[in-house]
Amino acid sequence: MSETLRFAVPDEPALGAELHAWVEHLYPLDRSLTGPGVRSTLDWIEEVLAPAEAPAVRRHEVPTGTEVLDWQVPREWHVHQAYIIGPDGKRVVDFAEHNLHLVGYSAPFRGTLRRADLLPHLHSLPDQPDLIPYRTSYYRETWGFCLPHRQLESLPDGEYQVVVDTELLAGHLSYAELLLPGEEPSEILFSAHVCHPSLANDNLSGIAVSVALARHLARQPRRLSYRFVWAPGTIGAITWLAQHREEARRVEGGLVLACLGAGSWHYKRSRRGDALIDRAVAHVLATRCREHQVRDFIPWGYDERQYGSPGFDLAVGQFSGTPHGTFPEYHTSADAPALVRPERLAGAVARLLEVCEVLEGEGRWLNLAPHGEPQLGRRGLYGSLGGAGGRDRELALLWVLNQSDGGHSLLDIAERAGVPFARVRWAAETLAEAGLLRSVDGPS
Ligand code: ZN
């Protein structure tokens, strides 16, 4: 028995390289709320997870127009081609070169426009003149192109030929989910959006980390059940909630995963603020990461807003690196695979597995010899734990004996003692083996 992590990633550098290759592979796909780019991404998720000793990933195709909570499933968007030809006959921008060039959900349009009439349809970033911005127009029917500001400024007067060969048609909204059942029906929910086109940190990092996490958890014995949802942002989470009201009741906690490829770790607490998931993430960050930040919930960000709407009130927080909107590459063409660090991707998986270990191992224990300290030396538990950390482990044994009055849980003890959860759990198991402790409500 040891205090090593059960769910530990065996080779973080190798995992980081693998996850980064996934990001590069998924980067060119033209994802949006709906359509072929999302389906190809979900196909890929299915493929990666197929060999794991796990139940299959489930696909859902929800027809356009379906009422979901206060929303409706939108029309499906397909892009055939989209470009602008300048007065000199050359292509100014072309969707085929970068999918950020076209405003997401652009309605079909063909026509010849003068520069002044074209300008209202062009989007650029004057403060970042070399980058292409990411823009969408999901709920207002229009069309537009995005391009570097420097290029926009250099467009000469004259006639521009615009081709937006897209279709908005009755189709489906696609999402995927995977349920990994454990001994108990209580579920931990992990959710990642799949609706961003060529954007690496804000989107692909979350997809890569969640898929790696699912693959790893699928191979472990589990007390809790784990559910993964890969769906387009907002409307996807709303659709999942509308179709999983029963399942939502079993969600004990969860995390929205996004922007995990760069910067120090950030945790945004769930709406409840003090749920077990909030405490577990904060504890792992406090004991493992020198630089990190824990913030309170605000109803802004990713799908924690939907999961944490008052009618559901699921304890779902958001785990990220530098949060969305606060890094300069956010929602621009600079959010490319080079921004995403392999070691951050693997590090995210490792931290999340540690969070799962806390959730798995949490429980209260009872000291069976509570009158005075039991004599640990006689049982080979004191002064014999040699090697580095022997003292720390002895102290962990004393903490667990002292606090295990049936009222304090292992996480309570880990927080109060300021020691990693894995060591406290090791202490509890060691004392239980010596007949000094018994489980009150956790795993025995
Ligand atoms: Zn985004």
Residues 20, 343, 302: CA angle, nearest 5 degrees: 70
User: Would you place residue 194 in the very low, low, confident or very high pLDDT band (cuts 50, 70, 90)?
Assistant: very high
Cα of 228 to ligand 1 centre, how many Å? 19
Residues 142, 148, 150: CA angle, nearest 5 degrees: 125
Residue 51 has pLDDT above 90, yes or no: no
User: What is the model's pLDDT at position 219?
Assistant: 92
Residue 395 has pLDDT above 90, yes or no: yes
Residue 4 lies in a domain: no
Residues of the chain with pLDDT > 70, as a percent, come to: 97
Residue 444 lies in a domain: no
Cα of 6 to ligand 1 centre, how many Å? 34
Say which DSSP state 56 is in: P
CA torsion, ordered 349, 188, 317, 190, to nearest 10 deg:
50
Helix axes 205-218, 12-26, angle to 10 degrees: 130
The mean per-residue pLDDT over the stretch 57-86 comes to 98
| Helix (H) or strand (E) segment spanning residue 115 | helix 115-118
Same domain, 370 and 353: no
Cα of 140 to ligand 1 centre, how many Å? 18
Q: Please check whether residue 329 is in contact with residue 335, taking contact to mean a CB–CB distance below 8 angstroms.
A: yes
Residues 191, 192, 196: CA angle, nearest 5 degrees: 155
Cα of 85 to ligand 1 centre, how many Å? 29
Residues of the chain with pLDDT > 90, as a percent, come to: 91
Cα of 258 to ligand 1 centre, how many Å? 9
CATH assignment at residue 426? 1.10.10.10
Give the span between the Cα atoms of 95 and 302, in whole angstroms.
Answer: 27
Cα of 254 to ligand 1 centre, how many Å? 20
Same domain, 340 and 382: no
Which of 143, 167, 191 is the last residue before a domain boundary? 167
Same domain, 50 and 23: yes
Cα of 331 to ligand 1 centre, how many Å? 6
Concatenating the DSSP letter of every residue in 383-424 gives S---STTHHHHHHHHHHHHHHTEEEEEHHHHHHHHT--HHHH
Which of 130, 150, 167 is the last residue before a domain boundary? 167
User: Would you place residue 175 in the very low, low, confident or very high pLDDT band (cuts 50, 70, 90)?
Assistant: very high
Same domain, 130 and 231: no
CATH assignment at residue 182? 3.40.630.10
- The per-residue pLDDT of the chain, averaged, comes to 95
Same domain, 128 and 210: no
Cα of 194 to ligand 1 centre, how many Å? 10
Digit-coded pLDDT (tens) for 200-259: 999 999 999 999 999 999 999 999 999 999 999 999 999 999 999 999 999 999 999 999
Q: Provide the number of structural domains found in the chain.
A: 3
Domain that holds residue 272: 12-73+172-361
Cα of 196 to ligand 1 centre, how many Å? 7
Same domain, 327 and 388: no
Cα of 87 to ligand 1 centre, how many Å? 34
Give the span between the Cα atoms of 127 and 115, in whole angstroms.
Answer: 22
How many Å separate Cα 257 from the centre of its chain? 1
- Token reading at 260: 């995990």
Say which DSSP state 239 is in: H
Give the span between the Cα atoms of 400 and 364, in whole angstroms.
Answer: 10
Closest Cα partner for 10 from 287, 286, 353, 285?
353
